[in-house]
């Protein structure tokens, strides 16, 4: 297993604050998802890696029937709690790879929100395709740190701390702007032989954070959860110190989501 996939179990330790710390996906994303797929309630949806229900709730609220599969027991419990008012939603504690769907089960849409990268690439497209009729859809989206031309200089300063701690990834700085980032999911869909790309959309937005809000966010990231505690404590001291020196005590973090929708061949 590649080293980064070994981190996929770390998120369960952040179950209690993941929902609040992580940003909501843009409302336009859900509108575009429905437009690109043509699905309408009460269509049957399968979510891969629902976490605490971040992307489940907006679709359940629209009247869709959803089966959500979540690897982490604590995250699955959070999702069940948040989705208890929706009888058409069920949350199953399992990895997607190991989950055995009911015989003959088919869904109108399979989707994964910030979870697809954690699923075995040798399995994910083929298994999703087997759960869709011809013409059904697979949708994948994410929420990543974005660096537009006007990104907050705080991140250049704090990157030096990551590098000094040996926690940098060695990539050139600054990262490419959102519009210059490739869409590897589209390439994966086309290469799989199971899907053709029905459409892609990109969204960029910004949120303001106090030091404590930003540290709460960092505590939901696998790399920070797995970081050696002394290094993490040093990093968080630097985050607090640098944000405290600002007049308003806040930073601006940009986010980018890319929605990729594939149609089952």
Return the structure tokens found at 76.
Answer: 């699955």
Pairing, β 137-141 against β 109-113: parallel
Any idea which architecture 3-148+177-207+254-264 has in CATH? 3-Layer(aba) Sandwich (3.40)
pLDDT tens digits in sequence order for the chain, 265 residues long: 234 555 555 565 566 677 888 899 999 999 999 999 999 999 999 999 999 999 999 999 999 999 999 999 999 999 999 999 999 999 999 999 999 999 999 999 999 999 999 999 999 999 999 999 999 999 999 999 999 999 999 999 999 999 999 988 888 999 999 999 999 999 999 999 999 999 999 999 999 999 999 999 999 888 898 899 999 999 999 999 999 999 999 999 999 999 999 999 9
DSSP for residue 24? P
Give the three-class secondary structure for 29: helix
Q: Residue ranges per domain, the chain?
A: 3-148+177-207+254-264
Which regions of 114-237 does DSSP assign to beta strands (E)? 137-141, 144-146, 195-209
User: Which pLDDT score is estimated for 1?
Assistant: 25
Residue 50 exposed, middle or buried by CB count within 10 Å (0-12, 13-18, 19+): buried
User: Which pLDDT score is estimated for 48?
Assistant: 98
């Amino acid at each position: 297993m590649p080293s980064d996939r070994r981190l996929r179990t770390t998120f369960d330790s952040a179950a209690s604050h993941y929902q609040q710390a992580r940003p909501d996906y843009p409302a336009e994303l859900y509108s575009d998802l429905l437009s690109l797929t043509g699905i309408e309630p009460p269509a049957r949806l399968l979510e891969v890696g629902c976490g605490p229900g971040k992307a489940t709730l907006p679709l359940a609220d629209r009247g869709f029937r959803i089966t959500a599969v979540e690897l982490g027991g604590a995250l699955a419990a959070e999702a069940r709690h948040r989705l208890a008012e929706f009888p058409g939603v069920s949350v199953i504690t399992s990895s997607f790879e190991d989950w055995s769907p009911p015989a003959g089960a088919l869904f109108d849409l399979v989707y994964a929100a910030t979870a697809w990268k954690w699923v075995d690439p040798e399995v994910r497209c083929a298994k999703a395709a087997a759960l869709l009729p011809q013409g059904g859809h697979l949708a994948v989206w994410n929420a990543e740190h974005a660096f537009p031309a006007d990104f907050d200089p705080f991140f250049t300063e704090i990157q030096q701390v990551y590098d000094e701690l040996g926690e940098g990834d060695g990539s050139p700085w600054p990262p490419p702007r959102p519009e210059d980032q490739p869409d590897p999911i589209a390439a994966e869909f086309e290469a799989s032989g199971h899907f053709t790309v029905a459409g892609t959309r990109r969204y960029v937005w910004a949120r303001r954070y106090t030091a404590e809000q930003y540290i709460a966010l960092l505590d939901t990231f696998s790399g920070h959860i797995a970081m050696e505690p002394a290094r993490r404590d040093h990093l968080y001291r630097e985050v607090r110190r640098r944000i405290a020196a600002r007049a308003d005590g806040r930073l601006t973090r940009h986010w980018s989501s890319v929605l990729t929708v594939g149609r089952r061949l």
